[in-house]
Amino acid sequence: MPNQPRTGIRLLIAIAIFLTPVLASAYLAWRECYATEKALSLSYAQSALRRMEETSGQLTAGARALALVNLSPCSPEDIRLMREIDLASSAVKAVGRVVDDTLLCTSQGVANPISLGRPDLVTRQGISIYFNKDLGGQPPHPLNVLAINGFAAIIDPSQTLDVLTERPKVEAAVFVPSSTNRLRIATVGQYFPSNWLRPIGKGTHTTIQSGGYLVSLVRSRMWDLAVVTATPQSYIDRRFNRLAVLFLPIGILCGALFALLVNMLYRVQSPFPTMLRRAIKDGSLYVVYQPVVELATRRVVGAEALVRWRSRHADMRPDYFIPQAERHNMIQLITKQVLSIVARDLPQFLSMDPNFFVAVNFSAADLCDKRTLAAMDEFLRVSGARPENIEVEATERAFLQGPETSEVIDALRAKGFSVAIDDFGTGYSSLSCLQSLSLDTLKIDRSFVDTINTDGATSQVVLHIIDMAHSLDLDIVAEGVETEPQAQYLVKRGVQYAQGWHFGRPMDPGLLCEQIRSHASAGKESVPAQACLRVH
């Protein structure tokens, strides 16, 4: 995948991961503010309703008390009793007598009768309500008169909703739900559209959003009364802004930590294909060379290219990542990378020794694919090498894959590349299978070389392998030679080549080049004077 879109996608993911806690905390904070304002709005409506219910209760209780004693309206006894009722009624300003829509006297005494006109409203309970009456107080102040059975309670509509004084922008109204036009007993606020006065069930409450306000409605269970309060959106916003100062830095911190953590996890735990592609792109795959010596002369005549993966913490072993790459069908990417590195290194080896060869490990997938042939042509073109300078190593398993593999191997040999069977003896094929394979070289696996000069049960197997290879006229490379006695044993049995720690560990190309040069000078061949390049 091209680099930029992947980086772009990762950046987008990082931004999304960063923003998620920030936005989530903002959303939760906003919900919290909304819920608080909603609860407040409802509680104001409920306490205003409670007051109105108290007034109505006190009015009917007063009317009942007066009816029981049957005193003559506005007589001194009547006024005394009304004063007692007034004192006991917290929610009313005064009580009085109303006969034929006229206020005759109040608990404060007898004055000139005041005509109230027709009641503005008669509730279901038979309470007549006269709105905004000037009852001669100083300074003049409109009052509401609620009358039943000749008894009246006088209330100040501005005090009905005074619970809202600390919230100046909140609008509110007490209204009579059963009345046409939903008559308001008291109103606070200028805006107050009539659609806020919605009918709701007795004893219920609701909250809605309307026209930028949070509108709460409560209706009395007993009385024909309801209260609506409307809190402007700006109250929620103001509360949210105060909270934002707290939650925003926390949200940003969480977001940054989250993004950092996910990025770290992505780097540590990204899937193998992603890691491998990244490693190829950023040059983390490199190649070391293990010398192959001619046993008789101990001259370095070739080398095996062994891939390495330099990770941030430590080098990864090919024993781990090669099988993984095979499982993910990505081994050909590695072969391609190894070939391109070898094509870069080989010219300096050849400048020291034109007959030098490099053995490259091929997997079954490479040998099943005819494109490998084109890749090898390209390799020769780029490196300027001859086919004899390359040996193709394949394990027994790769050889036995099927007709496509044989075709590719035959074609490679036809082009002049030599082909070696690697780790011989560790796979499934028997020695007799060797005859049917198209081969140049046999590499004896290290496990057999280890048994040389020991009494182990398999110590004789190495002899059979050597005999078989001789009879098939194959070159032999013994792998994993670690001691001189092993080398002596092998040379005596006619093994021509060997590799192993006894001759040299896998090394970087600059060091290998030096070794080729020193061997070539000892052989008095014409060796160029320039120094080997240190590639790593």
Kindly tell me which residue out of 86, 120, 366, 423 binds Ca ion, with binding defined by CB under 5 A: 423
SS3 of 294, please? Answer: strand
Residue 422 in the binding site for Ca ion (CB under 5 A): yes
Q: Does 363 bind ligand C2E (CB under 6 A)?
A: yes
**Residue 74 CB coordination number (10 Å):** 17
C-alpha–C-alpha distance, residues 419 and 407, integer Å: 13
Identified binder of ligand C2E from the candidate list 230, 422, 441, 520, rule CB under 6 A:
422
| Residues counted in the chain | 536
Binding to ligand C2E in span 297-316, by CB under 6 A: 305-307
CA-based nearest residue to 33, from 247, 246, 236, 244: 236
> Shortest gap between Cβ of 331 and ligand C2E (angstroms)?
6
Kindly state the number of chain residues that form the binding site for Ca ion, as judged by CB under 5 A.
Answer: 5
Q: Should residue 338 be labelled a site residue for ligand C2E when binding is judged by CB under 6 A?
A: yes
How far is CA 400 from each of CA 428, 432, 438, rounded to the nearest angstrom?
9, 13, 11
CB of 376 to ligand C2E, least distance (A): 15
* 506 interacts with ligand C2E by CB under 6 A: yes
Per CB under 5 A, contacts with Ca ion among 101-140 are: none
User: Least distance (Å) from Ca ion to the CB of residue 479?
Assistant: 5
CB of 527 to ligand C2E, least distance (A): 27
Question: Which residues are paired to 441 by β-bridges?
Answer: 420, 475
Q: Is there a contact between 287 and 509 (Cβ–Cβ < 8 Å)?
A: yes
Nearer to Ca ion, 86 or 393 (CB): 393
Which of 319, 455, 473, 484 contacts ligand C2E by CB under 6 A?
319
Give the residue ranges of DSSP H helices in 292-451: 318-327, 331-352, 364-367, 371-383, 396-399, 403-415, 446-449
Task: Decide whether 160 or 290 has the Cβ nearer to ligand C2E.
Answer: 290
| 468 scored as a contact of ligand C2E (CB under 6 A) | no
One-letter-per-residue 3-state SS of 386-414: CHHHEEEEEEHHHHCCCHHHHHHHHHHHH
Task: Report, in Å, the least distance between residue 424 CB and Ca ion.
Answer: 8
- Binding to ligand C2E by residue 290, rule CB under 6 A? yes
476 contacts 441 by C-beta, under 8 angstroms: yes
486 near ligand C2E, rule: CB under 6 A:
no
Q: Which does 382 bind (CB under 5 to 8 A by kind): ligand C2E, Ca ion, none?
A: none
Query: Is residue 368 near ligand C2E by the rule CB under 6 A?
Result: no
Burial of 112 (0-12, 13-18, 19+ CB in 10 A): exposed
Using CB under 6 A, count the residues that bind ligand C2E: 23
* For ligand C2E, the closer CB: 229 or 290: 290
Question: In sequence order, what DSSP letters do the residues of 207-234 get, joined into one string?
Answer: EEEETTEEEEEEE-SSSS-EEEEEEEHH
Using CB under 6 A, which of the segments 51-59, 243-251, 475-483, 512-520 binds ligand C2E?
475-483
Residues 245 and 252 sit within 8 Å (Cβ to Cβ): no
482 interface partner picked from Ca ion, ligand C2E, none, CB below 5 to 8 A per type:
ligand C2E
Whole-number Å distance between alpha carbons of 178 and 201: 11
Q: Figure out which of the listed residues 141, 274, 501, 525 binds ligand C2E, where binding follows CB under 6 A.
A: 501
Tell whether residue 327 is a contact of ligand C2E (CB under 6 A).
Answer: no
Burial (CB < 10 A; 0-12, 13-18, 19+), residue 76, is exposed
Max Cα–Cα distance, the chain, nearest Å: 148
Alpha-carbon gap, residue 192 to 425, rounded angstroms: 96
Residue 337 binds ligand C2E (CB under 6 A): no
Among residues 124, 267, 317, 536, the one that binds ligand C2E under rule CB under 6 A: 317
Contact between 396 and Ca ion by CB under 5 A: the answer reads no
Residue 361, interface with ligand C2E (CB under 6 A)? Answer: yes
Block residue for tokens 């009358």: 147
From candidates 144, 337, 361, 363, binder to Ca ion by CB under 5 A? 361
Instruction: Tell me which H or E stretch contains 12.
Output: helix 3-69
Which residues of this protein are in contact with Ca ion, per CB under 5 A? 361, 393, 422-423, 479
Which residues of this protein are in contact with ligand C2E, per CB under 6 A? 290, 305-307, 317-319, 322, 331, 334, 338, 361, 363, 422-423, 446, 479-480, 482, 499-501, 506
